[in-house]
Structure 1
Amino acid sequence: MEYIIDFTGFIVPDGEFVIKEVCVTSIGNQVSVNNVQECEHYVCQPPSKYINAMIMHENVDHYGKKHGILWDYGKVKYAIFEKKLKKWIKDARYFYVLGSEKQKWLTDLINDTVPLTDLKKMDPVDIACFDDLFLLRFSKRQIHHIWPKLPSDLQNNKKTIDYKFCTKHYPDGCSDCEMSEIWIYPYQKDCYYCQMNQ
């Protein structure tokens, strides 16, 4: 079994990274949207050694504001989550994560028991094993960033082209989003000028 895992959390004052929210989905032997299992989603309680601690830290405060999840919120005990992670490791042939920091944290945790791949660093041969529906369902916000690595059939696929960011007509991004202080690029499918030129 292969797993894609994504998580976020807090860096507490002593420098330890503490997982707060995690999503895991398993995929079969062929990476396609048809054999992706339901996603498991957990929000973890603080680890027992921090459970009663009043942790006020810049990253903790930032996370709470950004995601709306408080430090003491969570239904899954941290120890239970660690047991689940060990089960996934036991069943897994590969883990995929997004980003080098997550890769490093998980590598330290699983001690190289299972090959762990950062999706951002995958080469074109690896990315070619993902079908277009899989990429669009789980990674459409990343398509622009991995565009040079996509195989030519995906670069010429209208469905994937639609999810490239339009940097031509919006070189500085646009602020048409809920958080107006963040500048984003629209997808080409949402860009009026791109659609007019088709």
Structure 2
Amino acid sequence: MAMILIDEKAENIHRVTRMLFESPFKWDELPKHYKTMNLWVMRNYHGILWDAGDIPYNKLNDVLDIILKDVAYIYVKGSEKKQWLSDIIGGKSNLIYHCAFENVKQFKCWMQKKSQMQNPSIGRSLELYYQLEERIEDMRPQDIAYFTKEFILKFASTKIDKIWNKLPENLQKDEDIIAHRRCHKHYNPIAIDYDEFEGIIPLMKDCSICKEGK
């Protein structure tokens, strides 16, 4: 297990922590399929032997409690790791997957070399990063709040339903933003005019019934 602790602004790395835990099962107890899988990962990926750990696996919870006791957010790479860690720590911290620490470092270098912006604003930095990642639905409400209405309509108009509950109140009241929501009012299995529609649920701005003001 490897962890990098950073400050609230994600600017300073305080320390890198590496730990090797003992395997949860003896090698001879593993089915042949998992032996083959682990040998491949060892030879082609991390080079760590199955029995290389020195920290008892049953101490994992205690170790994590000590390291993560004052941590507000935990970022992991991949939904499987998120599920594994969630089962161990429960809801003690906000656990977020799709962490791309290497991508963030590369993005920082890219901005310094390509953008000619010596000290870009937080909002502008987030806008540029979103244009690269295109995962606005995974962003926090406080991050989405930095986006302008024009930016959202240009780059994320098809995802407004997905992020609706994360939008600030002023955008939820904006007519242009509302127009890019899908019309669930008239397009649903019990709606009287359900037969009028086929395929994908139309945008409210394209719904003929909405246009009639019904």
Query: TM-score band, normalised by the shorter chain?
Result: 0.3 to 0.5
TM-score (norm 2): 0.43
- Give me the TM-score of the superposition, normalised by structure 1: 0.46
Report the structure, 1 or 2, having the larger strand content: 1
